[in-house]
Amino acid sequence: GESVGLHLPTLSVQEGDNSIINCAYSNSASDYFIWYKQESGKGPQFIIDIRSNMDKRQGQRVTVLLNKTVKHLSLQIAATQPGDSAVYFCAEIPSGNTPLVFGKGTRLSVIA
């Protein structure tokens, strides 16, 4: 089976609220994680990444948290906007030069 998965398939949030999208991974050897955003009809778009030697990384309105103890990854989006509506995937590099492995995705809907 896939080693990366998500807890919720859908998430609805009010415009202006913060969003939290969760992801669980099973491969403790994975050392690199990425969050992607995919809008309808488009390919996945890189949002933010984090390496396993970090617990937290911040970007513009986005923060990724990594908890290696429980193998959990989360994406926080501050002040969610209608343009944030999309499917969000976490992805991992299990080891070495292996390619990215994607989870199933969470659909974020922003209610205006």
Partner 1 sequence: EAGVAQSPRYKIIEKRQSVAFWCNPISGHATLYWYQQILGQGPKLLIQFQNNGVVDDSQLPKDRFSAERLKGVDSTLKIQPAKLEDSAVYLCASSPTTRQGGYTFGSGTRLTVV
Which residues are at the interface with partner 1 (CB under 8 A)? 2, 4, 32, 34, 41-46, 49, 89, 91, 93, 97-105
Query: How many other β-carbons are positioned within 10 Å of the β-carbon of residue 84?
Result: 19
Task: State the minimum distance, in angstroms, from the CB of residue 37 to partner 1.
Answer: 11
| Pairing verdict, β 106-111 and 10-14 | parallel
Report the nearest approach of partner 1 to the CB of residue 76 (Å).
20
Q: Which of 94, 98, 102 is nearest to 44 (CA)?
A: 102
> Per the structure block, which two tokens stand in for 86?
């999309």
* Smallest gap from residue 4 Cβ to partner 1 (A): 8
Q: Which CB atom, from 41 or from 112, has the smaller least distance to partner 1?
A: 41
Nearer to partner 1 by Cβ, of 42 and 112: the residue is 42
